[in-house]
Amino acid sequence: MNDDQYNREATEPASLGEILAAMNEAGAFAASLLTSPEGLPIAAVPSDYDSDVAAAMVALLQRVSSDARGQLGMAEVDEVTIRDRDTIRLVCRYFPVGEQRLILTATVPPGRPYRRVTNRAIRQIQHMLS
């Protein structure tokens, strides 16, 4: 499934796992995770991924970025990206759902765009949880 097919998907996903699986397929992401800011995993794909450890790391990144934002006087952070030497990126996108904020994390291969695909997943998650 390419980005255009993903954006035109007519059927509504039935679960958060389906949203993450479709996002992974469209973006060729190795794994994705939806967590609370406190580090509680909500959904992960693939399911054998150690979501507890990953959720804790994502929460740590959120706290560090929040502290940095406060110290530097920046506006609210909406994304944190870590890139390794192989240019694989761990992308953490922060977004609101009602009164709470959630974190969508994806492992993005080198040279792959991710904003459009993750934006679509965020909209679907917000719709499903609202």
The burial of 103, by beta-carbon neighbours within 10 Å (0-12 exposed, 13-18 middle, 19 or more buried), is given as: buried
Decide if 7 contacts 71 (C-beta within 8 A). no
Decide if 21 contacts 49 (C-beta within 8 A). no
Per-domain residue ranges of the chain? 3-7+14-112+120-129
pLDDT digits 0-9 by tens, 52-87:
777 777 888 888 888 888 888 888 888 999 999 999
Instruction: State the pLDDT at residue 49.
Output: 62
For a pLDDT cut of 90, what percent of the chain falls above it? 55
What is the spatial distance between Cα 27 and Cα 24, in angstroms, rounded to a whole number?
5
**Sole residue written with tokens 């499934």:** 1
Decide if 52 contacts 70 (C-beta within 8 A). no
Judged by average pLDDT, the poorest of 13-17, 40-44, 58-62, 96-100 is 58-62
- The pTM is what? 0.83
Q: Does residue 10 or residue 113 have the better pLDDT?
A: 113
CATH for 3-7+14-112+120-129, options being 3.40.630.30, 3.40.50.150, 3.40.50.2300, 3.30.450.30: 3.30.450.30
Instruction: State the pLDDT at residue 70.
Output: 85
Instruction: State the pLDDT at residue 122.
Output: 97
